Structure 1
Amino acid sequence: MTHLLRVRTRHASPRAYDPYITAAERRDLQGAAAVLKGIRILHVNATPKGGGVAEMLSSLVPLECGMGLCSSWHAMEAPARFFRITKEIHNAVQGKQFRLPSADIEYYRSVNVKLASRLARLPFDIAVIHDPQPMAVIASVHDRPMISRLHIDCSHMDARVRRLLYPYARAYDRVVVSRPECRLGLPRSIVSVIQPAIDPLSPKHRDMTRAYARRLLARLGIHPKRPLLAQVSRFDPWKNPLGVLEAYRLAKRRMPDIQLVLAGIMAASDDPEASSVFREVKKASKGDPDIHLFSDIKQLRGITNDRFVNAIQCGADIVLQLSTREGFGLTVTEAMWKGAAVIGGSGAGIRLQIQHGENGYIEHTSRAVARRIEMLLGRPRLRAAIGRRAKASVREQYLVPRLLRDHLRLYTSFIST
């Protein structure tokens, strides 16, 4: 069955975020909200939980409501075949060769036709359609302003998948991307750049001391005193978990006490590839007792996923995110907000956030990552200084009040025209 299911959220008080914004920014938000009061905003995405899009919407939608907008969020319910197809589309958008047979492409379109029929019956003034899964609804419903929000890395898109998606993207009134390079060759007049953000008040980002984090992780078999490396990400080839394993092994030759956590609890319904990638990573780990893999919520022994991720990011000596493709990389933002020293890979979204040597490091090979690990573990004061600058850069650029402001400005552009 194909449905759009309402994701229930509560209103959030914008005043709770006063510590994170200036008086001028508050006035800017209030001015935009006054123009938009009562406007019905509808967000549609693939899944209600798991991944950065769902996490951002769980904060953004309540804040929009708190500002006086009538915002709602609907997530897709569709057959497993659809999500297998859209995973292939996702991978091709990020550069993998596109090999879908015509029957699968027609199936993708047919599911979107059904979604569009449900979308057309929902009350909204502006719709925001997130990522390629529901993107093709625009071919069947477009009687009100429609915005396509692409969160993934479109800068290396396979030419054949571009031919599939470009007509849909061009039909939208606005296309929002995270970086200018991701505009798909669309006219600049319909492309806006809005970078993602994290919610400092989310349970995942509550203050947690390193000592408490290490005690929590010790309950899960991680040694509380030995150096800890960690990567928090879906088990996805673009997140490069095998590259993380290689860098860890190279570093361990000279630093035998180090431990590694790879954490990606499988909660997203739109990622059927995760299980096979996890099996590959598990096989490559070769039973090393210092490699800790987490994919199942049952492994957490009653600890919530948010607390677990927070403990990893607060308790790790170095956080890795060695993605080769990254639309933005909110796990990088999260770790930087917690003052972690982060080593990032070549994904463009990571390079947007990390200024090499200033608030983190960018490395392009496993050997270079291993050398950087060895250097940072030997220089705890440098790690702390990098972490302080990382947190400051997130506070300045990547917190949810700025995301809210950018969205209100986007909606206002439709009201004023």
Structure 2
Amino acid sequence: MARKCIMNFGPSLAPLLQVAWRGIVEVDASFQAPLISVEDYKTTCNSATWEAVMHYAKNLRKHKTKIAFFSSTPQGGGVALMRHALVRFSRALGVDLRWYVPKPHPGVFRITKNIHNTLQGVSEDGKYISADEKNAIVDWITDNGKRYWFSNDGPLCRPDKGGADIIIIDDPQMPCLIPQIKKLTPSRPVFYRSHIQIRTDLIKVAGSPQADIWDFLWQNIKQADLFISHPIPSFVPHNVPREKVLYMPATTDWLDGLNKPMEIWDTGYYGHLYNVKCRSERMTELQWPRRRYIIQVSRFDPAKGLPTVVDAYACFREQLEKHGGVAIPQLVICGNASVDDPDGIAIYDQVMTQLETKYPHIMGDVSVMRLDPCDQLLNCLMANAHVVLQLSTYEGFEVKVSEALHAGRPVIATYAGGIPLQIKDKIDGFLVEPGDWKAVAGHLMELFTDLKLHDRMSQAAKTGVSDEVSTVGNALSWYYLAMKWAQKGPKLELLGNQQWVNDMARSEAGQPYTEGENRLPRSFTQL
């Protein structure tokens, strides 16, 4: 199931992903080469989740409800992965759900990444987003809106002229669309979906870079009807009215190349492909299956905790050598680059400098690679690791954790963002404080010297993942919101108030959660 890795803003040879007229993202070769069926998706969730999503899909088809998503890039990063899957699934169900991106602007992407880093609190101290930089973003999005989206038959024109009935704006690159939409159609529902950890503690500090950029964004976001956040209350700034707040986790697709089961031949092929890429860059090659390995799959981003990964591995090696009797595993640090993320090269260089200056003696066992988009390659690397790490210092949700658990891999991760909602500490993995490389090293010792513990955690991981983090679970939440707001039915006033969308959707469809069903904890007090 090769998917969505080729972008096309011009001629191309049979791409699986195309960005067509008006910036609409079309998957599966403009929907001419469908890769999955509705029946395929039915196998990825339990019957209650499936019945609920079919209930809302039927309603949306009946009323011909049109849903439009807007985000900054068609490839790279978790938002794009979710939207690819949601478009594909909706197309199979006959739900009119479409996804639009602006024409790319590399100069602006540096600014948007600076905003992202500022909101997460990982930017340079005292670094502000200038007025000119803010205006550049507004001009970029406004220009795309006028050219492609607000014009006749565009997705943001009036619904009676062919525009969408429900509009969702993803993340802080595009909120300036919200007041423009509301000016044209005040009653049309617009939702803002926040996918990142926002340092609300820093936003409260008057005059801080975080407060400054949030004030700029909030002038637009406050006109949205709902503020939909990852399910961590501290991610929602203090001035967002709680009656507008809903919770929804990040999700992944169990049928795509990142997660599907792979045959031995496929594993061998993609393992070889990884080593060919390593050889071309004179990087350490992976020696699996002769040697076990540890992996962290993530973007090369200042919030992903990559220095902690290196420190933990070095400490673990030292302990293992003293212990004796267990072969030294390798370490793999890899991830795809994102179209709108210019930090990747700098963070990659930072990791290599750390290895060269602090740990030159272990470089022969560490493989660090920035990879071109290839889902099956990441799948192969993740599914065959002995242990998966996710040592972020700040995080939104990081669904790579759920993907690793789904593959039956024990995960050592940090108490950052939504990660603790996905891991059952000491059952399918271990949770540590961000930056605590000594604790990580200790847990690696446990998982490499106690194979019974590893097997027990692997089984718990494989069987404990919730439908909420799947494409079907994601579609269920969005379909429910679209139905409620497009039709302005009863109980609309109950939306918001920091509820979980998935709970509301399941209950109203007559499929409430039952005791024993896999479900994410509804608060950190349940952890």
| 3-state SS of 1:362 partner | strand
CA contact (8 A) 2:169 2:191 kept: yes
Correspondent of 1:233 among 295, 298, 307? 298
User: In structure 1, what is the Cα distance between the partners aligned to 2:53 and 2:344?
Assistant: 39
C-alpha change, 1:115 and 1:175, in structure 2 (3 Å) is farther
Equivalences for 1:92-241 in 2 at 5 Å?
A: 92-96=118-122, 97=125, 98-117=127-146, 118-121=148-151, 122=154, 123-142=163-182, 143=185, 144-156=188-200, 157=203, 158-181=210-233, 182-185=235-238, 186-208=240-262, 213=267, 216-217=270-271, 220=275, 221-224=285-288, 225-241=290-306
User: In structure 1, what is the Cα distance between the partners aligned to 2:23 and 2:86?
Assistant: 18
| 3-state SS of 1:192 partner | strand
Aligned to 2:95: 69
C-alpha change, 1:204 and 1:159, in structure 2 (3 Å) is same
What residue identity is the alignment partner of 1:169? I
Equivalences for 1:18-417 in 2 at 5 Å?
A: 18-37=42-61, 38-96=64-122, 97=125, 98-117=127-146, 118-121=148-151, 122=154, 123-142=163-182, 143=185, 144-156=188-200, 157=203, 158-181=210-233, 182-185=235-238, 186-208=240-262, 213=267, 216-217=270-271, 220=275, 221-224=285-288, 225-255=290-320, 257-266=328-337, 268-286=338-356, 288-297=363-372, 305-364=374-433, 365-417=436-488
Consecutive unaligned residues of structure 2, counting only runs of 5 or more, are 1-8, 10-20, 155-162, 204-209, 276-284, 322-327, 489-527
| 3-state SS of 2:345 partner | helix
CA contact (8 A) 2:103 2:144 kept: no
| 3-state SS of 1:406 partner | helix
CA contact (8 A) 1:208 1:314 kept: no
| 3-state SS of 1:127 partner | strand
Question: With structure 1 as the length reference, what TM-score do the two structures score?
Answer: 0.92
What residue identity is the alignment partner of 1:49? Q
How far did 1:110 drift?
2.0
CA contact (8 A) 1:251 1:370 kept: yes
Calculate the aligned-residue CA RMSD, in Å.
Answer: 2.2
User: In structure 2, what is the Cα distance between the partners aligned to 1:103 and 1:216?
Assistant: 45
How far did 1:209 drift?
6.5
More off after superposition, 176-185 vs 7-16: 7-16
**Residue deviations 1:117-170 (CA, integer Å, cap 9, x gap):** 233232322111111111221132222321111111124452222212222221
C-alpha change, 1:134 and 1:386, in structure 2 (3 Å) is same
What residue identity is the alignment partner of 1:281? V
Identity value in percent = 25
C-alpha change, 1:261 and 1:272, in structure 2 (3 Å) is same
**Residue deviations 1:155-207 (CA, integer Å, cap 9, x gap):** 44522222122222211111211114222231122222111221111122121
How far did 1:218 drift?
5.8
User: In structure 1, what is the Cα distance between the partners aligned to 2:106 and 2:167?
Assistant: 25
How far did 1:213 drift?
4.1
**Residue deviations 1:268-304 (CA, integer Å, cap 9, x gap):** 211011111111112222261111011143xxxxxx7
Aligned to 2:279: none
User: In structure 2, what is the Cα distance between the partners aligned to 1:331 and 1:380?
Assistant: 24
C-alpha change, 1:87 and 1:248, in structure 2 (3 Å) is same
User: In structure 2, what is the Cα distance between the partners aligned to 1:145 and 1:116?
Assistant: 18
User: In structure 2, what is the Cα distance between the partners aligned to 1:396 and 1:65?
Assistant: 20
What residue identity is the alignment partner of 2:59? V
How far did 1:104 drift?
1.1
Larger Rg: 2
User: In structure 1, what is the Cα distance between the partners aligned to 2:292 and 2:263?
Assistant: 16
How far did 1:357 drift?
0.9
User: In structure 2, what is the Cα distance between the partners aligned to 1:402 and 1:389?
Assistant: 21
More off after superposition, 382-391 vs 55-64: 382-391
More off after superposition, 252-261 vs 6-15: 6-15
Aligned to 1:300: none
How far did 1:115 drift?
3.0
What residue identity is the alignment partner of 2:53? L
* Number of residue pairs aligned between Structure 1 and Structure 2: 409
Consecutive unaligned residues of structure 1, counting only runs of 5 or more, are 298-303
| 3-state SS of 1:195 partner | coil
More off after superposition, 340-349 vs 219-228: 219-228
CA contact (8 A) 1:337 1:395 kept: no
Question: With structure 2 as the length reference, what TM-score do the two structures score?
Answer: 0.73
CA contact (8 A) 1:263 1:293 kept: yes
More off after superposition, 8-17 vs 169-178: 8-17
**Residue deviations 1:311-333 (CA, integer Å, cap 9, x gap):** 11111111001001111101111
**Residue deviations 1:85-126 (CA, integer Å, cap 9, x gap):** 111110111124551122212222222322332332323221
What residue identity is the alignment partner of 2:370? S
| 3-state SS of 2:227 partner | strand
CA contact (8 A) 1:152 1:328 kept: yes
More off after superposition, 308-317 vs 219-228: 219-228
User: In structure 2, what is the Cα distance between the partners aligned to 1:279 and 1:177?
Assistant: 32
User: In structure 2, what is the Cα distance between the partners aligned to 1:24 and 1:340?
Assistant: 27
CA contact (8 A) 2:270 2:376 kept: no
| 3-state SS of 1:289 partner | helix
CA contact (8 A) 1:358 1:389 kept: yes
How far did 1:210 drift?
8.2
More off after superposition, 316-325 vs 170-179: 170-179
CA contact (8 A) 2:304 2:391 kept: yes
How far did 1:4 drift?
5.3
C-alpha change, 1:147 and 1:240, in structure 2 (3 Å) is same
C-alpha change, 1:212 and 1:17, in structure 2 (3 Å) is closer
How far did 1:397 drift?
3.6
C-alpha change, 1:94 and 1:229, in structure 2 (3 Å) is same
User: In structure 2, what is the Cα distance between the partners aligned to 1:163 and 1:306?
Assistant: 37
